[in-house]
Chains A and B, each alone.
Chain A
Amino acid sequence: MDVFQILLNGIVLGALYACIAIGFSLVWGVLNVINMLHGSFIILGGYLTYFAWHYTGIYPIILLPFVAMVLFALGYVLQHLFINKVVTAPVLTTLTLTFGLDMILYNLMTVFFTATPRRVTLDLGTLSFGDVYLPVDRLLGMALALVLTALLYLVMRGSRIGRAIVAVRMDRQAAALMGIRVNQVYSITFGIGALMAGAAGAIFAMVFPVTTNLTGVFLGKAFVVCVIGGLGSVPGALVGGLALGLIESVAGYTIGPQNAITVGFLLMLFLLVVRPTGLIGVKGYE
C-alpha cells in the first residue's frame, strides 16, 4: 500500500478520533470527572441520526444540529440531576456513578434500538489521486469533524460561556468568587461534552456502521487521545486524535489492525507513566 494512502487514512481517522475525544477531554479537564457515558453518547448520536435519516430521508448534515441539541439536553440533565452532586467526591465515586448511568443508557439503547449495526449510506463516490483513494463520504466526515472542532475552539475562546468554562477549569473557587455559577457551568460543560459526542457519532455513522457494541471501543479511543494530547484543550484533542489515527494506520498496516489497537493502549500506558500531561496538554488533575 502506498505510503500516502496510509498517511491519508491516518489523518482521516485522526480527525474523527479528535472529534470523538474532544467532549470527553473537556469534561475530564473541567469537571475532573471521567465520563463513562461518553461512548454511549456517541452511539446514541449515531443511531438517532440513522433513524432520522432512514425515516425522513433528510441529509445527515442537516440533521446534525438537531441530534446535537438532543444530546446536549440529555447531558445537561444528567449532570444537573446526578453528577453535580458528586463532583468533589473521590475518583472511585464519580467513575462508578458514570459507569452506573452508562449501564442504564446502554440497556435502554439495546432494548429500544437493538444492537444491529447501522450506517447512513451516502453514495458519494470516491476520489482518486494516482494510487491514493479517498471515499468522498470519509472526506466529508473528516471535514465535518474538523469544522466541529474549530467551532468548539472558537466558542471556548470567544464566548462568555467559553470563558467561564476555562475559568472554572483553572480555579473553581476563584471562579465562584467572581460570580460564576459553577454548578451551571458544569452542567453546560457536560452538555457540550455530550453534544460533541453525539455529533461525532452522527459523523461517524456516515462513514462506518455503528452499534452499541462499539461504546467501549470509542470510550477507549477517547482515553488514549486524552492522554496523548492532554486534557481540557481543543488543540490537545486534535493533536492526540491525529497522532492516534496515524499510529493506528501505520501499525495496522505493519502489524495488523488488531495489534494496532494494542499499540495505542501501550502508548497510553507509556505516556501515563512518563508524561501524563500529554504532548501539549494543560496540566491534568490527579
Chain B
Amino acid sequence: MNRQVKISIAAVIVYSLALALIPVFAGNYETRIAISVAMFSALALSWNFIGGFTGYPSFSTAAFFGLGCYIGALSQRAGMPAELAWIIATVGVAGFAAALGAIILRLKGHYFAIGSIAIVEVTRLIISSWGSVTGGGDGLNVPLMTGTPDVVAARILYIMLAVMGMAFVATVIVDRSRLGFGLRCIHQNEDAADMVGVDTTRFKIAAFVLSALFCGLVGAVYASWVGYIDPTDSFSILLTVKVPVMALLGGAGTLAGPIVGAGVFVLLEEFFWANFLQWNRAILGIIIVFLIFFLPGGLLKIRYKDLLKKLSANRSNTVSEGEAKG
C-alpha cells in the first residue's frame, strides 16, 4: 500500500472520529450538520464508483436513495425492526440497480446521463401513483425511533458514519483490486478494455450496483430518522445533481475526494442557507460554476506544494530541487 493511500486512510479515520465526538461536545444543531456530512459523504463515495472510477456520468443517486427510503419505510411499517428494514432496503436497491444496469449501461455519454435522470423521474412517478401502497403524494409516516432527540440524533450519526466507513472501505478495496483496474481501463478506453480481456458489461454492472447499495442504505436510515417521507423529497433532482458535484469538488476517482467534497459542500450550503436564505440556490450555482472553471480536478488534485512554492517564490529565490517532483 503506497504512502498516499495510507495518508488518505489515516485522515479519514481521524475525520470520522472528530465527527463522532460532535454530539459529546456540541448541541443538536451541530449534530444534525454532522449527520448531513456523513450522509452526503456516503452518497458521494457511492457515486464515485460509477462516475469517478468508471467515468459514466450517472444521475441516478436520487432513484437509489428514494427507493431505499421507501423500501425501508414500508418494511418498518410492516412491523420489522429498523435494522432489518435497512438491510432489506440495501438488498432491494442493489437488485434494482443490477436489473437496471444491464439495460442502461449499454448507453454512453449524454444518453446514459439522460437515461439515468429518467430513472429518477420514472421511479418517482411510479411511487407517486401507487398510492395504495406508498401513500402517493401524501407521503408515508415511519415509526419513530425511541429516545430523546439528542440520543436519537447521536445514534443516527454513528450509523451514518458507519455507512460512510463501509463505503470508504469498499472504495479502497475496489481501488486496489482487479475490479478497480478494469473500471479505470473502461474509463480511459472502453473498446481497448474490451479487446484486452475485460468483461466490460459485468464490471460496469458491478460498479453500478456498488454505486446504488450504499445509497439505498442511507435512504432507509434517513427515513427512520426523519419519520416522514414523500416522493418529491425522496427523489429530488437537486439531490441527484448535488452528489456528483460534491464528488467532483473533492476529486472524482480519488479515494477521499468524495468525503472532502461532501464536507466542504455541506458546510458551505449550511452557511449560505442560514445567511442568505432567498439566494441559496443561486449561490450553489455560483459554487458549481466556480468549480468547473477553477477546480477541474477537484480540491484533492490541486498541487498544493506547487501552489505554495509559487506564492513563496515571490519572496525568496531559492527552491529546493529535491522537492520539485512534489
Task: Give A residues with C-beta under 8 Å from B.
Answer: 28, 32, 34, 82, 85-86, 90-93, 95-97, 99-104, 106-108, 110-111, 216, 220, 223, 227, 256, 258-259, 261-262, 265-266, 268-269, 272-273, 276, 284-286
Rounded to whole angstroms, the CA-CA distance of A109 and B289 in the bound complex is: 18
For the complex, count residues of B whose C-beta is within 8 A of A.
43
Task: Give B residues with C-beta under 8 Å from A.
Answer: 51, 55, 57, 103-104, 106-111, 113-115, 117-119, 121-122, 125-126, 128-129, 237, 241, 244-245, 248, 278-282, 284-289, 291-293, 296
Known: A103-B281, A286-B110. A223 touches B118 (CB 8 A): yes
Which of A100, A258, A273 has a CB less than 8 Å from the CB of B289? A100
B289 with A101: CB separation less than 8 A: yes
Q: How far is the CB of A44 from chain B (nearest CB, A)?
A: 15
A-B pairs under 8 A by CB, number: 122
Dominant secondary structure at the B interface? helix
Q: What are 30 A-B contacts defined by CB distance under 8 Å? A: A28-B110, A34-B110, A82-B289, A90-B109, A91-B57, A92-B57, A96-B244, A99-B241, A100-B287, A104-B281, A104-B285, A106-B285, A108-B282, A258-B129, A262-B122, A262-B129, A265-B118, A266-B122, A268-B118, A269-B104, A272-B107, A272-B111, A272-B118, A273-B104, A276-B107, A276-B111, A284-B110, A285-B109, A285-B110, A286-B108
Q: How far is the CB of A263 from chain B (nearest CB, A)?
A: 9
Residue of A nearest to B117 (CB): A223
B292 with A106: CB separation less than 8 A: no
Q: How far is the CB of A151 from chain B (nearest CB, A)?
A: 27
Residue of A nearest to B286 (CB): A104
Rounded to whole angstroms, the CA-CA distance of A261 and B121 in the bound complex is: 10
Residue of A nearest to B238 (CB): A103
Known: A34-B113, A223-B118. A92 touches B289 (CB 8 A): no
Q: A99 to chain B: which residues have CB within 8 Å?
A: 241, 285, 288
Q: B293 to chain A: which residues have CB within 8 Å?
A: 85
A103 with B57: CB separation less than 8 A: no
Rounded to whole angstroms, the CA-CA distance of A256 and B288 in the bound complex is: 38
Q: A95 to chain B: which residues have CB within 8 Å?
A: 57, 110, 113
Residue of A nearest to B109 (CB): A286
B109 with A91: CB separation less than 8 A: yes
Q: A90 to chain B: which residues have CB within 8 Å?
A: 55, 57, 109
Rounded to whole angstroms, the CA-CA distance of A32 and B110 in the bound complex is: 8
Q: B284 to chain A: which residues have CB within 8 Å?
A: 100, 103
Known: A90-B57, A103-B285, A272-B115. A96 touches B245 (CB 8 A): yes
Q: A276 to chain B: which residues have CB within 8 Å?
A: 107, 111
Q: How far is the CB of A115 from chain B (nearest CB, A)?
A: 12
Q: How far is the CB of B117 from chain A (nearest CB, A)?
A: 8
Rounded to whole angstroms, the CA-CA distance of A227 and B118 in the bound complex is: 12
Rounded to whole angstroms, the CA-CA distance of A93 and B110 in the bound complex is: 11
Known: A103-B285, A273-B104, A276-B111. A265 touches B245 (CB 8 A): no
Q: How far is the CB of B118 from chain A (nearest CB, A)?
A: 5
Residue of B nearest to A85 (CB): B293
B51 with A100: CB separation less than 8 A: no
Q: How far is the CB of B50 from chain A (nearest CB, A)?
A: 11
Q: A216 to chain B: which residues have CB within 8 Å?
A: 237
